Chains A and B, each alone.
Chain A
Amino acid sequence: MIALAVAFPLVGALAAALFRRRDARRVIRIILAGMAAFMPFVVAGRVDRLSLVFAVIVSVLGFLATVYSTDMFSVSWSGGDVFWSRKSVYFVLLGAFWSSMLLVVLAQGFGTLWFGIAATTLATAFLVGFSGEDAALEAAWKYLVLCSVGIGIALIGIVLLASAALHAGVTPEFALSWDAMSRLHAPPNGVVHLATALMVIGFGTKAGLFPLHAWLPDAHSKAPAPISGLLSGVLVSCALYGIIRTLQTAGTWHDAATLHVLLTWFGACSVAAAGMLMLVQRDLKRLLAYSTVEHAGIIVFALGVGGRLGIAAALLHLVAHAFTKSGTFFVAGITQRETAASGVHGGSLWTTTAGGRLLLLGLAALGGLPPFGLFFSEFLVALAAIEAHAWAPLTVAVLGVVVAFGALIRTGLQVNPTANGDARTTAAAMPNGVSMRLSVASACVALALAVATAAIPWTALGTTLTTISGEIQP
């Protein structure tokens, strides 16, 4: 059943591609994507709650990205000048991307998790370079090289951890399972410390944590808008999921104090560096990409602070960020089209276009303003850090958040979505008789879910997140 849930998005994308009539293909694609979005509920009970929460995030946003993409290409667009720049290839790669992320979050052990993370690179490298522009190809190359090194480092860590598990008496068939490792009470040793550090560095590279973030702003800003949304909102979450599983395993196996310190400073430095770099950005999607580095930093900081409150705040921030960032990237794509069509940019964008108003909402949410979900999660992260007396990294992180907020306001007022954007992607996406209704609807739903995340602490989902945090760090 888990295999079916994982394969469904890719199989659905391939099946839809078989239909010759364009309208039929569009309808079938959306229906199959809708069915794929319900697949996590089919596997409920077969996977733990943490996997289920992530699978729902992946599936809901995968579905919204598919619906958004249905309106992305004009009827007349017949492809770019690179061989993978075709509509059919785009949707198959999107399905493969969705399936590989489900493989990550529904995995029962580190081996499958690593395989899924590596598969996301295979699916997304061509999506990053989809426009075929020189800058997009450059971004795709950097993405391939840096992420290959990152996931390679993670693999070394996984192998070392498996080696330590085998030495501690775990049988080979369970040597990569976090459940088996979590039940171990072997004395701490250097191999486990090295393994967990390498895994954090490896998954941290894929999550775009500073100083391993160099590929992220390029890849996330050069990909088509719905892919940017999935990369920033979901793929980064999947990489952070790897870090959470590492923390869960290391935390129950041996004293993970060093790992917590590493995570706390890794996160705080990412927030501060991203805030500074956001100040010099002029391109909207690049600004949003650096904002992803900032929010990934906040999540890792909260995981490092630890305790039930810290982990629960990290999970809440992760959920809120996934919907907020994906929604904002979806809207950024819409404003790119509107700006290209109308020439309107800067402050007047907010009042003259629908996309501009939605973008204002997304930027306010990303800035952590009340009543959005990120406000509550950041507040809880700060409370957890105060409770843990992590004053120095908290100060660094708070400064980063303040600077990032200033950068969002500053760039928001001068925004020109096509100033440095991917012109060919925009051209490919020009309406030219095709409505943007589905794209706008997807963006609205994603942002509505982002707003709804504010209610999580007072709902059953909030209780679930607290329970999960207790399972990660008893």
Chain B
Amino acid sequence: MSTTLYAILAVLSGIMIADTRAKRVLAAYVAIAVVTTVVTFPGASATLGGLVLFGIATALKVVLAPIGIVWFLRRNPEAEDLRAGAPLPIRVLTVIALIVLSRAVERLPVASVLPLQSTVAFVILCGIAMLLMHRNVLADLLGLLVFGAGITLEGALAAPQLPEAVELGAAFDVLVTTFIGLALLRTLHQRGMLDVDRLRSLRG
């Protein structure tokens, strides 16, 4: 089960880092969010509070955040290109490096007591890589959402007895990222500041 899960998430995360079309990357994110949701469901459904919060978090992650991004893309089709910050071979090598790095997590002491740590590490690292590999700020938003999905996965696996806390954290994390992110993204786009290179006037 763990190998299959790892392989699915590796392919989806690979698409997120290697591809530059926003809609395909968004589809990969939704698939990652669905997979992590399926994994976290058994723990979350143990209590009524956990189940309610799980429903809210899932609605935010899998439905509302993607709808918000699609809505933004429909009005701003030029944001569709995520503008790769590195050529394709480098991006593919990055995915391979993340796989190697996440497998190394299995050797950490934490992996001896907690399950699926390499899978969790891969998703989290993929979210951080998304922040670094694309020049469009929309990719930052998608990277934060994947990062959040990885944290939810870690929470569900490491502390299954705390479904309310994990789901509340997941829901609030997505709420903050999506709500503020889309509002700022819209304004940045209106100012022609979607390119990360335009966000460097404050250096030093």
Spell out A's residues near B (CB within 8 Å): 82-84, 111, 114-115, 118-119, 121-122, 125-126, 129, 132, 134-135, 137-142, 144-145, 148-149, 151-152, 155-156, 159-160, 162-163, 166-167, 172, 175-176, 189-191, 193-194, 217-218, 221-222, 277, 280-281
Contacts and interface: CB of A to CB of B under 8 A. Distances in A.
Contacts, number: 133
A190 B109 contact: yes
B117 to A, nearest CB: 10
Nearest to A195: B110
Given A145-B140, A148-B144, A167 B180 contact: no
Given A118-B173, A134-B191, A139 B202 contact: yes
Contacts of A160: 110, 114, 154, 158
Contact of A149 (B110, B144, B179, B204): B144
A175 B193 contact: no
Nearest to A146: B131
Contacts of A115: 168-169, 172
A385 to B, nearest CB: 30
A221 B202 CA distance: 10
Interface majority SS (helix, strand, loop, mixed), chain B: helix
Given A166-B159, A166-B161, A125 B184 contact: yes
Interface majority SS (helix, strand, loop, mixed), chain A: helix
Nearest to B202: A218
B60 interface: no
A114 B173 CA distance: 10
Q: Which of B109, B144, B148, B159 has the most CB of A within 10 A?
A: B159
Nearest to B176: A122
A155 B179 CA distance: 20
A194 B108 contact: yes
A163 B109 contact: no
Interface string B94-110: 00000000000000111
Contact of A144 (B109, B161, B165, B181): B181
B8 interface: no
B144 A145 contact: yes
16 contacts: A118-B172, A134-B191, A134-B201, A135-B202, A137-B188, A138-B198, A140-B184, A141-B140, A152-B148, A155-B155, A162-B165, A189-B113, A191-B114, A193-B109, A280-B204, A281-B204
Contact of B199 (A83, A138, A190, A217): A138
Contacts of A137: 184, 187-188, 191, 193
B91 to A, nearest CB: 20
